[in-house]
Structure 1
């Protein structure tokens, strides 16, 4: 999948800060052999106090244009921190539907995006997430 410079810069900032995150969404699908077009990259950030500090430092290193962000944004349940506009949108999520972070972290899969090492959501957890999201949409 094509990786723009903003995505590479964010990957570098997250990795350098030691943020515990998983790549989810279309880029996770691509890592499992099912690439599809997308206008964003999704990072699921572990919602813990220590990790929120790391994520905040990563945002500062990245040079986020969002002055309204704080560490607490990475602790709020069901929060999405969005940076940029499609097709260069970066989403940092504190939760995803149908999967808990600890279980997903235990089953994470090593991959690479744009030359950067990443952890992606396992195939099983990706399927669970997509099924849960589909159930919500049909209700």
Structure 2
């Protein structure tokens, strides 16, 4: 599920970001699928193992900004399953893509609490109030 700056853009406040943030549900099945995908995309040399993605608060960073992908297995202050139930599905050039829902994004940003997160909350609320 896409979170972070790309999700902020989908929910009404387009802004630049140098990182694609993706959160996965922390299960053995998903960890196995992720390892297979990473190997298929040429990241096998990083030697990730399934158990790496079953630990708490893992962030795997692939590449460098402005084209970095961060893979997380925890959402700040939100249960993944709850967030997934309330996801927003967006058709991105024929690919259905899961984004964190608006309310869950606000909670996630509030709990993260960085300056950029707080600005995102302010701008999202301003933009969505106008709709």
Interval containing the TM-score (normalised by the shorter chain): 0.7 to 0.9
Whole-Å separation in 2 of the counterparts to 1:89 and 1:112: 22
Q: Which runs of 4+ in 1 moved over 3 A?
A: 112-115
Query: How much does 1:129 deviate?
Result: 0.5
**Structure 2, gaps ≥5 residues long:** 118-131
Contact map agreement 1:66 1:83 (CA 8 A) in 2: no
- Measured in 2, the distance between the counterparts of 1:66 and 1:91 equals 17
Question: What is the deviation of 1:54?
Answer: 0.7
- How far residue 68 of structure 1 moved from its aligned partner, in angstroms, is 3.0
Answer yes or no: is 1:110 the counterpart of 2:50.
Answer: no
Q: Which structure has the larger Rg?
A: 2
Query: Which residues of 2 match residues 58-137 of structure 1 at below 5 A?
Result: 58-64=37-43, 66-113=45-92, 115-134=94-113
Shift of residue 58, structure 1, vs aligned partner: 1.0
Give the root-mean-square deviation of aligned CA atoms: 1.8
Structural mapping, 1:16-31, within 5 Å: 22-31=1-10
> In the alignment, is residue 33 of structure 1 matched against residue 12 of structure 2?
yes
Question: How high is the TM-score relative to the length of structure 2?
Answer: 0.80
Per the TM alignment, residue 116 of structure 1 is displaced from its structure 2 partner at its CA by 2.7
Cα distance between partner residues in 1 of 2:45 and 2:53:
14
TM-score by length of 1: 0.76
Which stretch shows the higher mean deviation, 72-81 or 113-122? 113-122
Kept in 2: contact 1:40–1:89 (CA 8 A): yes
Structure 1 position 40, deviation (Å): 0.7
The question of 1:47 aligning with 2:50 is answered: no
Structure 1 window deviating more from structure 2 (87-96 vs 105-114): it is: 105-114
